[in-house]
Structure 1
Amino acid sequence: MGQVIQSRRMRLREATIAEIKSTALQHMASSGTAAVSLRAIARDMGMTAAAIYSYFDTRDNLISVLIADVYSTLADTLETAIDGCPADSPQAQLIAFGSAYRTWAINNPEEFRLVYGDPAPDYRPPEGGAAAEAEHRSCAVLTGIIAAAWPTARYLCTEDTHSWADFDPQFAGLIQQSFPGLPPAAVALSLRVWGRLHGLVTLEVYGHLRPQVSDPAKLYRTELTDLAHSLGRTAADDSHHSAATA
């Protein structure tokens, strides 16, 4: 009987936590990330302020959990997208990755802003923890694609002089652990590729492409296709292409 009561209490607690997080996301969608307030959430849920603090002791704790959830969902989405691609085709994987990334961002703008914008005024993320682990997992998807394309994609880094000292030590350690033998130039390339894709997605999510582009999806597909083709080309291919178009 005691186990039944404990199990029921656990289910109720999990349901309440899920409702708190859902309400927080609703506040973000209607009023932005600055609207996240434990007292406001408690009021909407018919709870006392004291009661909600038994689930999340601070607003920053709630935001950190939300960030971890968002990164985990994003990582699931990206991993699922590339699972159906041939293992020996980083080009197809990059197309699938980029397409899934943009679709997720467009369909979840507040979640995108939460993890890639300013989460909330005066928010101080904890060091390490679930949020950091989930972020690394989502980043590792693209790094894995670049690792699969290396060294064919080396021509994109002909003048790259990056060393491990150029990266945050914790980040470098995680990469070296996840991808043994991957050189710093390949890691820099993965960040550059992500920057190009993320840049266009960010401009679209924040509405900065509207005055210039009638079809942001087409612009993004062009960039994504160009990047994917680049991963499969060699320095010799690039020299031949330049000579043919000169």
Structure 2
Amino acid sequence: MSTATATRRADRRLATVAEIKAAAWADIRDSNSLDCSLRAVARRLGMAPSALYRYFASRDDLLTALIVDAFDDLTATLTSAHEQARCAPPSSDPGEVFVQVAAAYRRWAVQDPLRYRLVFGTPVGGYHGTEATTAASLRSTGVMLDLMVDLVAAGALDVERLAAGVAPAAVRGFERWSSVLPMPLPPVALAVAMDCYAALHGAIALEVNGHLPPPLVGEEEVYLGTMRRVIAAALR
């Protein structure tokens, strides 16, 4: 087989995989369910189910691909927001970079609530994550941890005050977590990271799942205010 023929086949396969993923998302959105059926996807594409199995061996393999894609898109979104915030004119507020990245996180979530729920909501029945989904998730959270690295390097965290509020048992847990990170962080910085991440997802989940009071729906400044208060509580 010539190199050109192999390249054309690879390109056709990539294009078909992209069509299958798009059809799976269409099935998910039409049914308003995070589950998807290979047979339903095949019908949507006018393919025999047996043909689909040449690309995805099971429903779980297809869901894994959708989840990895979602996390990778989130990572790209957060990375871009982080770089833009870093390149912006210096702010007198050392927590503003976090706030801008958190804003990008929210916009990503509300732009496509079903995608957010697929990766952060109730697990799909019978589906179990894989090493690939775990690695993709860690790539997105890695951007959030980079924010803490920046704050630690700038000496912006009120370490002495914050350390007094972290229980010894929690410190041991944060130390174990730090030991497996590419860039180790002090336990207090990881405690702050957890506070910020919990507040961020709590606020987003309330909005995406329709639990905010109606006057607050769609009001980004309400969310940003929460993010500013959370990060400000950790700074000098």
Query: Where on the TM-score scale, by shorter chain, does this alignment land: which range?
Result: 0.7 to 0.9
The residue number in structure 1 matching 2:212 is: 209
1:29-48 mapped onto 2 (5 Å cutoff)? 29-48=29-48
The residue number in structure 1 matching 2:146 is: 144
Name the amino acid aligned to 2:173: A
- The two structures, once aligned, show a CA RMSD in angstroms of 2.2
Please report how far the alpha carbon of residue 156 of structure 1 lies from its aligned counterpart in structure 2 after TM superposition: 3.6
Are 2:66 and 1:66 aligned? yes
Between 92-101 and 214-223, the greater mean CA deviation after superposition: 214-223
Query: Among 92, 96, 99, which residue is 1:92 paired with?
Result: 96
- Conservation of the 8 A alpha-carbon contact between 2:67 and 2:133: yes
Please report how far the alpha carbon of residue 141 of structure 1 lies from its aligned counterpart in structure 2 after TM superposition: 1.1
- Deviation per CA, 1:144-177: give whole Å up to 9, x if none: 112222353223443113234368x6x55542xx
Name the amino acid aligned to 1:160: V
Name the amino acid aligned to 1:8: R
- Deviation per CA, 1:111-145: give whole Å up to 9, x if none: 1010001242111122x2x2211111110111111
- Deviation per CA, 1:74-122: give whole Å up to 9, x if none: 0100010010223787522102111101111110111101000124211
- Conservation of the 8 A alpha-carbon contact between 1:204 and 1:210: no
Q: 1:211 to 1:86 in 2, by over 3 A?
A: closer
Are 2:189 and 1:197 aligned? no
1:1-246 mapped onto 2 (5 Å cutoff)? 2-86=2-86, 90-126=94-130, 128=131, 130-150=132-152, 151-153=155-157, 154=159, 155-161=161-167, 162-165=170-173, 172-175=178-181, 178-180=182-184, 182-211=185-214, 213=216, 216-231=219-234, 233-234=235-236
Name the amino acid aligned to 1:133: A
Please report how far the alpha carbon of residue 215 of structure 1 lies from its aligned counterpart in structure 2 after TM superposition: 5.3
Structure 2 residue ranges without an equivalent (≥5): none
Aligned partners of 2:7 and 2:218: how far apart in 1?
51
- Conservation of the 8 A alpha-carbon contact between 2:78 and 2:104: yes
Structure 1 residue ranges without an equivalent (≥5): 235-246
Q: 1:42 to 1:172 in 2, by over 3 A?
A: farther
Aligned partners of 2:133 and 2:179: how far apart in 1?
17
Name the amino acid aligned to 1:158: A
**Partner secondary structure for residue 187 of structure 1:** helix
**Partner secondary structure for residue 115 of structure 1:** helix
**Partner secondary structure for residue 121 of structure 1:** coil
Please report how far the alpha carbon of residue 32 of structure 1 lies from its aligned counterpart in structure 2 after TM superposition: 2.9
**Partner secondary structure for residue 55 of structure 1:** coil
**Partner secondary structure for residue 85 of structure 1:** helix
Q: 1:93 to 1:166 in 2, by over 3 A?
A: closer
Percent same amino acid among aligned pairs?
31
**Partner secondary structure for residue 124 of structure 1:** coil
**Partner secondary structure for residue 4 of structure 1:** helix
Q: 1:34 to 1:225 in 2, by over 3 A?
A: closer
Please report how far the alpha carbon of residue 225 of structure 1 lies from its aligned counterpart in structure 2 after TM superposition: 2.2
- TM-score computed with the length of structure 2 as normaliser: 0.86
